[in-house]
Structure 1
C-alpha cells in the first residue's frame, strides 16, 4: 500500500483471484541441495549492495507486499515472521501465510523482529527501513542481517519530502518483476521466480486485451473524505492506467498520492472512480461503503458522471500497491470496464 498509508497507521481470483501460487513448493531450492543454497549472492538494491552469503532460512517480511511475494515463491518454510498488514492475505496464500508468525499487524518493533533471529529482512517501503518504521538498514547491517527494499519505492522516485514521494519516472511492472527476480535469486529459487513472472504477465495481457478502452477517464481515490488522497500519474495506479489504455484525470501530477480538493475533482469529472476499500480505521471514509455514501450525498460530488452512473471499482489498498497485487488491480478494473459498457 502507499507509504502514506503505512505512516498513518503508524501515527494514530483462480488466476484472476490473485494468484500464482507456488506456496506448496518446498525444499531449499529449485532442484538443488545444500551446495546451491550455500552460494553467495550480491544484489544492487536501491543504492545499496546487498550481500547474502547463504540462501535465507529465517527471513522476515516487514510489509505485506514483501510477504506476499515471498509466500508466492513458496518460501513459507523459510520465513519466521511478517508485519505491517493492511488487508487480508492474497487469495490462495491463506494456508502458507498461516504457517508464518505475524509479528505485528502494524510495524513490529525492532526488538520483536530480532527476537525471531532473522537472517534476512525484506520491506516494501523506504519508510519501513528508516527512522519511524522498524529500523534503518544500517541498524540491521550492524547485526549482520542483510535487508532488501522494494525497488518500486526507490527506482525513479524521490522520497526526500514529507509526503509519499514524487515519481521522476513512471513505474512499470518490469520493476515489480525485477523484485521477484531479486528475491528468487537471493533464495535460490530462480525457476519459481520466472514461473511467477510468466503467470503475472499472462494475466495482465489477458486483462488488457479484454478491456480495449477508448478515451475513458479514471480517478483513483485512496482515502480521506475531508482532504482526499488521489493517485498521481506514475505509481501503481499509473500501471493500471497504462496497461488498460485509460486516462488518469490527475496525470499532470507526479506526486504519489497528492491531496486534492473536491471542487477540482468534480471539475475533472472522471468517467470511472476507482476507490480503495480499506480495512484500517485511521482516516475518514476508509471503506468503500463510506466513500460511496459520501460521494452520493455531498453536493459537490453527487452530480459527477461516475457517481450518477454508479461507476465504482472497488480495490483493496494492496491492489493500489506496486507489487504483485497491482496485477489484481489491472484485472478488477478491466472487468468493471466491461460491466460498465466502456470496453470496445
Structure 2
C-alpha cells in the first residue's frame, strides 16, 4: 500500500513539473548551471538499445551512484541533483563542497530503493550500473519511463554481468557529450571530453617502449578469499592495450572475473595493479591487498610480490567515470618508475 501511494505521488509530481500543459506552452525557463540552452527539445536518443525521449532540460536529477553524480558536477550541473546513492569513497577535494550538498538517498555502499527514488520526484535518472536499474533496486528503466521519468544508463554496462566488446575512452567521451545534450549544456560536454582526451594523450606520450610487453594483473578485490581481476571488455583491458602491457586475464569470460590464486601464480604477472577501495570490505584497500599477497604461501613467492612491483589506482577509476582518465598517467608513471 505504501508503495502504491508513493507511486501515485511520484507520477503526479512528474506530471506537474513536466511542463507539457497549456499554461507552460510559451515558457522558456532557464536551466540551472547554464545561461542558455543550446539543446533543441524534445529529442530522442537510443541508449542501451532503448529509445528515450527527453522533453526538456532536467531540473531534478537522481544519480544512482557516486560516479554518476561526479560526472554531472564536472559538467557544471551538480546543483540540479536532488539525490544520489551508492557512495563508495571519499569525494575528490576539487568537488567535495558541491557533492556534500547532494542528499544521499541510501546508506554508504548501498543502492537506492525504488520508493526512495520516487519520493525525490526526479525528472531524470542517471546510473552507471545495469544492476541498479532493476525492480528490486531503483526500478527498471521501462517502469520509470512509464512514470514519465527518462533515464540514461552508461553504455559500458547495458546488461548486468555482460561484457561490452571494445570498451574504450571514446565511449566515455561520447557519454559526456550525450549527458551535456540531455542537461542542456552541450558545450560543457564537449569541453569535458576534450579535457579528458588531453589527459590520456599526454600520458601516452610518455610511455617508455619495451622490447617485450610487461604482464600485469588488475587485482580488484577478494570475496570469501577468492580474487577478482579485470578481464576483457572493460576499461582496464583498453588501458592495457593503450600503454602496451599484457593483461594476464585478458582471456577471461567477463570484464570482472572470479579467478584463483593458483591461476595468478601460474600466469605470474610482472606487475600487479592494485585497486584501492574504501568500501570497508575485507582486503579492499591497496595496503591490505599487499599484506595479503605477501602473507599467502603461494603469492608471496611471485617475483612481482617479492620485488614490490605494485601500482596503486583508486578502484573507482577502473570503472568508467571522470577519474578513469587519470588512471592512465598513474599507470604510465608507475610502469616507467619500475623500469
TM range (shorter): 0.7 to 0.9
Q: Which residue among 155, 162, 182 is the counterpart of 1:165?
A: 162
Q: CA RMSD in A?
A: 1.9
Deviations 1:106-143 (A, max 9, x none): 21221111112110000101111013331111221222
Deviations 1:293-321 (A, max 9, x none): 11111111011121111011112221110
Residues 248 and 213 (structure 1 numbering): CA distance in 2 closer, same or farther, change over 3 Å? farther
Per the TM alignment, residue 38 of structure 1 is displaced from its structure 2 partner at its CA by: 7.4
Contact 1:30 1:190 (C-alpha < 8 Å) held by counterparts = no
| Number of aligned residue pairs | 305
Deviations 1:80-114 (A, max 9, x none): 11111112223411122122212122212211111
Q: Secondary structure at the match of 2:264?
A: helix
Equivalent position of 1:114 in the other structure = 118
Equivalent position of 1:10 in the other structure = none
Distance in 2, matches of 1:242 and 1:207, equals 14
Distance in 1, matches of 2:34 and 2:127, equals 24
1:180 partnered with 2:179: no
Equivalent position of 1:290 in the other structure = 288
Distance in 2, matches of 1:235 and 1:133, equals 24
Equivalent position of 1:7 in the other structure = none
Distance in 2, matches of 1:119 and 1:38, equals 17
Structure 2 spans left out of the alignment, 5+ residues: 1-29
1:136 partnered with 2:140: yes
Question: Larger C-alpha radius of gyration, 1 or 2?
Answer: 2
Per the TM alignment, residue 183 of structure 1 is displaced from its structure 2 partner at its CA by: 0.6
Equivalent position of 1:224 in the other structure = 222
Distance in 2, matches of 1:166 and 1:176, equals 16
Counterparts of 1:1-344 in structure 2, within 5 Å, are 28=32, 30-32=34-36, 39-104=41-106, 105=108, 106-154=110-158, 159=160, 164-167=161-164, 169-214=165-210, 215-224=213-222, 226-282=225-281, 284-341=282-339
Structure 1 spans left out of the alignment, 5+ residues: 1-25
User: So what's the TM-score if we normalise by structure 2?
Assistant: 0.85
Q: Secondary structure at the match of 1:44?
A: strand
Deviations 1:132-179 (A, max 9, x none): 33111122122211111001112xxx64xxxx3234x12111111111
Q: Secondary structure at the match of 1:229?
A: strand
Q: Secondary structure at the match of 1:228?
A: strand
Per the TM alignment, residue 339 of structure 1 is displaced from its structure 2 partner at its CA by: 2.0
Per the TM alignment, residue 39 of structure 1 is displaced from its structure 2 partner at its CA by: 2.4
User: So what's the TM-score if we normalise by structure 1?
Assistant: 0.84
Contact 2:113 2:136 (C-alpha < 8 Å) held by counterparts = no
Per the TM alignment, residue 29 of structure 1 is displaced from its structure 2 partner at its CA by: 6.2
Contact 1:87 1:279 (C-alpha < 8 Å) held by counterparts = yes
Using CA pairs under 8 Å that are at least 6 residues apart, name the structure with larger relative contact order, 1 or 2. 1
